Structure 1
Amino acid sequence: MSQIKYDFTVDNLGPCTVPSPIELSREHGNYRATYVKDSSFVRNQVNVFADDKADANDMTNLMEKAGPREKIYFNPSHVTAGICTCGGLCPGLNDVIRAVVRCLWNRYGVRRIKGIQFGYNGFFAEEGYDTIDLNPGNVDAIHKIGGSFLGTSRGGGDRTSEIVDSIERMGINAMFIIGGDGTQRGALDIANEVERRGLKIAVVGIPKTVDNDLQFIDRSFGFETAVQQATKAVNSCHMEAQSQINGIGLVKLMGRESGFIATAAAIASHEANFCLIPEVPFEMDGPNGFLAHLEARLARRGHAVIVVAEGAGQDLLASTNQTDASGNKKLADIGKFIKDRITEHFKEKNIPINLKYIDPSYEVRAAVTTANDSIYCERLGNNAVHAAMAGKTKIVIGLVHDKYVHIPITMATLKRNTVDPESSLWRDCLDATLQPVYMVNNINTVTEKLRIAASEANQKALARLEKVTKTK
């Protein structure tokens, strides 16, 4: 399998010659907050194995640190900033909007900040959405509510030329785009079109994916809040199941291609007996299938709790062959499928059960952030502003090994971050649930399927890398 060679080199609009209005220290050791230099980096690969060669000490492995620079590219009085939120709802959207506005206004003195309503669709005149003039006064309290103050929508990111036309008309030269994988690919197309036209506009992304499926970063904003809300649902389901004769609790959580929320909620709740995720295949029938293990669990303990990610077990269902406005494949309903199969199985066995099915997805998406998530959003927003003011472009802000860095969008969107079945995270989930490593009847078939899937994902990433490299 060919290895992907990453390039974390950050694009800049030009030399930084404007003194920053933020007064910080130029050196360490004087007990004052300092500027960050472009020569400060964080390693992508940090794991060390005795038989490995030394990690590369170049831009294939080094990520540029985020933070305020001593010299910036834009004169703050000349800046008009734009902010938009795209895709599905996620806890923390308002926290990020608030942080970007307050940092622009209070730290850099920027007074023209336009909120683009309803995602990329807000750029199109025929949609009829006016921009919102943002300032600390109208965003100060928005972190106390869920949703998006600016509204959000899917799609529209492929209308690149029209979006850049709109950005030009509004005089925006610092564009902040909050969204997931598809949104950030759209942001890259926008930045490339900006460059093709010879415009000096910084395009900075703040990655939003409640599924935590953006590669490289420690976690995405809103993920911690989602896990907390999901854990409450799992605990409630457990209480229902435990209180009934042969009680079964089934909770469906977000996770299209990545089962991080389901995995984390299973570990955090200490109450789940089965965790089903897209990355780990399972079968319903047979002596080592899921239903056989569920039946054994009921016979042994009298109740069971199942957590399933929405993208799990899609090979067991008929494909919808449809996509949403963002281009995401519409998933078949694994929750209803499992619910129906459990009901049928125990009816045939003449075993009475009491099954409760919960899908808290929209409640989770609209939740107000936890304190720690709110802190994370604040710091992401601040670092996005520092990056844009320093003329950084075509990047997203990410937390890597607990350090904030600039990640080129080309690298961040090559492929999705997924739960590795060989990882300590999944091992800990198995410890928490005590479920079998695989609930399948022929392990060789499954491992071969996983090898093929990993190879295909790698080939797709290599193909995309070649495409974006040519575009650049």
Structure 2
Amino acid sequence: MADNLLVVHGGGPTAVLNASLYGAVTEALATPGVGRVLGARGGMGGVLSGEFIDFSQVGEGELGLLPRSPSSAIGTSRRPLDAADYARIAEGLGRAGVRWLLCAGGNGTMDACGKIWAACADAGVDVGVVGIPKTMDNDIAACDHAPGYGSAARYLAAGVSEVCADVCGLPIHLVIVEAMGRNAGWVTAASSLAAEGGCGGPDLIYLPERDFDERAFLDDAQRLIDERGAGVVVVSEGLHAAGGESVVPPLMAVGRATYFGDVSAYLAQLVIRELGYKARSEKPGLFGRASIAWQSDVDREEAIACGREAVRAATSGDTGVMVGIQRVSTEPYEARLDRVPIERVMLEERTMPDGFINERGNGVTEAFCRWARPLIGGALPRHVSFT
């Protein structure tokens, strides 16, 4: 039976997940000894059901669209897996002649990646498993950053830059923008780069790495009202109080995922109610991870490289690893790829270090800005204001 290579996506899509798929597929198609190059349709569910896309049947024109296509072209999922599922996956991979499995995803997917590798070994199925990092949240351990983050950071920085220009032109309210990233504030923090657009940046930034104090927030908000009559605040969707509970109550829980109300709407209402001042909320939501218009070229090229490197690792026999991006230099920016043992990244979340958060916990440091700036690609558009 031919040695086939299978790619599977897990978790939420990003603006460059298909770029990683492109890198993996094109590298595998050009690698001697690889049989069919397959994609699991709809994530792990496709692996369990044996529903595969055969990339040898896909034209070069369509493949060429992948790096600039949003979401997941093969489909992804958040399907929870149990021990019986892992055994079934190992059996199914053997039956399909899959010799190499590439799993693209975040912490949960890397956990599944490691467990599939172990299940294949236990079942005596010779399948090499390699992880491709993917998360807009940038919370994967053991690497400098992950594909998906740079584009999400660029989108938020650009959007907040435009909101800051709007508030500068009509300074009549506080605008509270909510960013994705429940447990890690990397995306929220990237809003600080909005200042490079020329009309100022966010006045306040609140991250989930710090306990949120409503009284301190209201004091900060009142100061903006007193000094300028307006301001822009960026908050993480995962803000929590000192006891760990969300600042807004949960609406629904499904598996590992808990769904909360909008933090930005809650805080805008808090300002209106407690301070008697105009406030509005904005929540880009899925736009922040789907936007191709704001895709970072650095992010895209690194995503492609990670897909290619995963194929090289797998076909050379270096499996049970995840491809990682490690920074060599910030100015000028340079990074290299390495291979991280999968057990180092299984459900391990990487949050913002203390040195990237200001002392009061309502902003970020210049050290963070220096770190993040190269990842968003080219400079943001410049705006002008005479107010």
Shorter-chain TM-score tier: 0.7 to 0.9
Report the alpha carbon displacement of residue 177 of structure 1 after superposing the two structures with TM.
0.6
Where does residue 215 of structure 1 map in the other structure?
A: 141
Q: Which whole-Å CA distance do the structure 2 matches of 1:222 and 1:283 have between them?
A: 30
Report the alpha carbon displacement of residue 382 of structure 1 after superposing the two structures with TM.
1.1
Q: Which whole-Å CA distance do the structure 1 matches of 2:208 and 2:143 have between them?
A: 20
Contact 1:266 1:307 in 2 (8 A): no
What root-mean-square deviation, in Å, do the aligned CA atoms of Structure 1 and Structure 2 show? 2.2
Contact 2:191 2:201 in 1 (8 A): no
Q: Which whole-Å CA distance do the structure 1 matches of 2:203 and 2:222 have between them?
A: 12
Q: Which whole-Å CA distance do the structure 2 matches of 1:171 and 1:143 have between them?
A: 28
Superimposed CA distance per residue, residues 191-226 of structure 1 (whole angstroms, 9 cap, x where no aligned partner): 101001122110111111110001121111011100
Aligned length: 343
Q: 1:308 aligns with which of 235, 242, 257?
A: 235
- The residue type equivalent to 2:209 in the other structure is E
Q: Which whole-Å CA distance do the structure 2 matches of 1:146 and 1:109 have between them?
A: 31
Q: Which whole-Å CA distance do the structure 1 matches of 2:117 and 2:66 have between them?
A: 29
Report the alpha carbon displacement of residue 178 of structure 1 after superposing the two structures with TM.
0.6
The 1:156–1:113 alpha-carbon spacing in structure 2 relative to 1, beyond 3 Å, is farther
Give 5+ residue unaligned stretches, structure 1: 1-76, 433-472
Q: 1:124 aligns with which of 35, 48, 56?
A: 48
1:248 and 2:205 correspond: no
Q: 1:404 aligns with which of 315, 325, 337?
A: 337
Q: 1:199 aligns with which of 115, 125, 133?
A: 125
Where does residue 371 of structure 1 map in the other structure?
A: 297
Q: Which whole-Å CA distance do the structure 2 matches of 1:218 and 1:386 have between them?
A: 21
Q: Which whole-Å CA distance do the structure 2 matches of 1:239 and 1:268 have between them?
A: 10
Where does residue 369 of structure 2 map in the other structure?
A: none
1:274 and 2:204 correspond: yes
Q: Which whole-Å CA distance do the structure 2 matches of 1:316 and 1:151 have between them?
A: 31
The 1:318–1:299 alpha-carbon spacing in structure 2 relative to 1, beyond 3 Å, is closer
Where does residue 101 of structure 1 map in the other structure?
A: 25
Report the alpha carbon displacement of residue 431 of structure 1 after superposing the two structures with TM.
5.1
- The residue type equivalent to 1:367 in the other structure is S
- The residue type equivalent to 2:119 in the other structure is E
**Largest Rg, 1 or 2:** 1
Report the alpha carbon displacement of residue 147 of structure 1 after superposing the two structures with TM.
1.0
Q: 2:34 aligns with which of 89, 106, 110?
A: 110
Report the alpha carbon displacement of residue 395 of structure 1 after superposing the two structures with TM.
1.1
Q: Which whole-Å CA distance do the structure 2 matches of 1:316 and 1:379 have between them?
A: 37
Q: Which whole-Å CA distance do the structure 2 matches of 1:201 and 1:430 have between them?
A: 44
Report the alpha carbon displacement of residue 357 of structure 1 after superposing the two structures with TM.
1.8
- The residue type equivalent to 1:303 in the other structure is A
Instruction: Report the TM-score, using the length of structure 1 for normalisation.
Output: 0.68
Superimposed CA distance per residue, residues 236-284 of structure 1 (whole angstroms, 9 cap, x where no aligned partner): 2223322334321111111110001111222444510110111112311
Superimposed CA distance per residue, residues 399-418 of structure 1 (whole angstroms, 9 cap, x where no aligned partner): 12322111111112263111
Q: 1:328 aligns with which of 257, 266, 269?
A: 257
Contact 2:174 2:280 in 1 (8 A): yes
Superimposed CA distance per residue, residues 278-314 of structure 1 (whole angstroms, 9 cap, x where no aligned partner): 11123112xxx11112111121122110001111135
Contact 1:240 1:356 in 2 (8 A): no
Three-state SS of the structure 2 residue aligned to 1:392 is: coil
- The residue type equivalent to 2:325 in the other structure is L
1:176 and 2:141 correspond: no
Contact 1:274 1:306 in 2 (8 A): yes
Q: How does 1:392-471 map to 2 (within 5 A)?
A: 392-401=318-327, 402-413=335-346, 415-421=348-354, 423-424=355-356, 426=358, 429-430=363-364
Report the alpha carbon displacement of residue 346 of structure 1 after superposing the two structures with TM.
2.6
Q: How does 1:39-54 map to 2 (within 5 A)?
A: none
Report the alpha carbon displacement of residue 371 of structure 1 after superposing the two structures with TM.
1.3
Where does residue 141 of structure 1 map in the other structure?
A: 65
1:299 and 2:226 correspond: yes
Report the alpha carbon displacement of residue 424 of structure 1 after superposing the two structures with TM.
4.1
The 1:409–1:431 alpha-carbon spacing in structure 2 relative to 1, beyond 3 Å, is closer
Give 5+ residue unaligned stretches, structure 2: 328-334, 367-387
Report the alpha carbon displacement of residue 85 of structure 1 after superposing the two structures with TM.
0.7
Report the alpha carbon displacement of residue 157 of structure 1 after superposing the two structures with TM.
3.1
Contact 1:313 1:334 in 2 (8 A): no
Q: Which whole-Å CA distance do the structure 2 matches of 1:330 and 1:267 have between them?
A: 28
Q: 1:150 aligns with which of 70, 74, 77?
A: 74
Where does residue 67 of structure 1 map in the other structure?
A: none
Report the alpha carbon displacement of residue 397 of structure 1 after superposing the two structures with TM.
0.4
Where does residue 283 of structure 1 map in the other structure?
A: 213
Q: Which whole-Å CA distance do the structure 2 matches of 1:395 and 1:426 have between them?
A: 35
Q: Which whole-Å CA distance do the structure 2 matches of 1:424 and 1:357 have between them?
A: 26
Report the alpha carbon displacement of residue 339 of structure 1 after superposing the two structures with TM.
1.7
**Percent identical:** 23
Contact 1:241 1:356 in 2 (8 A): no
Instruction: Report the TM-score, using the length of structure 2 for normalisation.
Output: 0.83
Where does residue 381 of structure 2 map in the other structure?
A: none
Superimposed CA distance per residue, residues 426-447 of structure 1 (whole angstroms, 9 cap, x where no aligned partner): 5794457xxxxxxxxxxxxxxx
